[in-house]
Amino acid sequence: MKTIPPQSIFTFAQSLSIFQALPAMMPILQRAARGQPHAWQLPVVGCEAFGGAPQQALPAVVAVACMQISLILVDDLLDDDPRGEQHRLGSAQVANLALAFQSAAAEVINTCRFNSSARARLLMSFANVTAHTAIGQYQDTTGPQTEEAYWQMIRAKSGIFFGAALTTGAEFADATESALDRLTHLGRLYGEITQLHDDLGDCLAVPANPDWLTGRAPLPILYASSVPHPEQARFQALRQRAEDVTCLAEAQAILVRCGAVSYCLDQLLRRYQTARSLMAQIQAPYPLGLTHLLDTLVQPVAELWQTLMPQQPLAWQNALAEVSVEA
């Protein structure tokens, strides 16, 4: 997959009126770019799938980058993330800059040469990202206590944003409305897969990820806490002491034994298979980038399963082998 160089993103952003009015925005954009966020390149994938050149997607990349930065600034404020910009600039400044980055995303869309219906679709798409992320963040801060609440939260927090990111690039390649609708669905599935991927990594990380320490419930922890199993009470006790490396290791072992990890992997793989089926319906002229996007996300999870569960039933091994071959 071809990518847009960071300097091109910075140059385009500097032309926006909001960046000129608030010089503090550029250093934040530059710091964010150092992490090479994969979401910033999703518009390129969407654009190339329908015959567009990567450079055509530059405005879409800038819009998606600004929207994601806005969401991350707010998320870091809510979580008091030690890496957050609020520790450098102060909470008041960061709250204001989050609004500025949202404004930048809208400015990009409003100034590009679209017909009125395409512009309206894109502006509504970004408005939906803002609205649903706010809903998802609220649900996250209150903590989902059921699996249904968990799925509602990740669809709002992750699915809507990734659907918009992928579709925005395709708009710059003049994809049909039918293709855009299916691509939105594909992007939302990708967002859910990304969240499940992150949940697995966070739950198995050493030392304990903040999710253990703040009482939040990624899917594996929610499963082990709420689904009856012989070690449920022990897990709930260990969860309160996850800062202790020994307790964390025992709790993580229970995640594997009780089926929490395998359930999370099952949900991830189901979405992967649905996404691959959906790709055939999209009928993108150049689908290789979309295929690569999905496979590179799922392949590490397949390898994790084979490491943790080498003796699982053959059906699982066959499903994961198919992912490995396709990747």
**What one-character DSSP code corresponds to residue 39?**
G
For residues 157 and 226, membership in a common domain is answered with no
From the number of C-beta atoms within 10 Å of its C-beta (0-12, 13-18, 19+), residue 113 rates as exposed
pLDDT tens, residue by residue, 153-206: 999 988 999 999 999 999 999 999 999 999 999 999 999 999 998 899 889 999
Helices (H), 208-259: 210-213, 219-226, 232-239, 245-257
User: pLDDT at residue 121 above 90?
Assistant: yes
pTM of the full predicted structure? 0.88
For residues 265 and 160, membership in a common domain is answered with no
Note down the domain range covering 215.
Answer: 176-327
pLDDT at 155: 93
For residues 149 and 28, membership in a common domain is answered with yes
User: pLDDT at residue 314 above 80?
Assistant: no
For residues 79 and 157, membership in a common domain is answered with yes
Chain centre distance of CA 103:
21
pLDDT tens, residue by residue, 63-94: 999 999 999 999 899 877 788 899 999 999 99
- pLDDT band for position 312 (50/70/90)? low
For residues 258 and 143, membership in a common domain is answered with no
How many percent of the chain have pLDDT more than 90?
73
For residues 185 and 325, membership in a common domain is answered with yes
Cβ 258 vs Cβ 231: under 8 Å = yes
For residues 49 and 144, membership in a common domain is answered with yes
For residues 63 and 102, membership in a common domain is answered with yes
Whole-angstrom distance, CA of residue 95 vs CA of residue 132: 18
Cis ω on the peptide bond leading into residue 5 (within 30° of 0)? no
For residues 54 and 201, membership in a common domain is answered with no
- The CATH number of the domain holding residue 131 is 1.10.600.10
| CB neighbour list of residue 289: distance below 8 Å, 6 or more residues apart | 1, 44, 45, 48, 49
User: pLDDT at residue 319 above 60?
Assistant: no
| CB neighbour list of residue 32: distance below 8 Å, 6 or more residues apart | 65, 68, 69, 72
Question: What single-letter amino acid sits at 295?
Answer: D
pLDDT at 218: 92
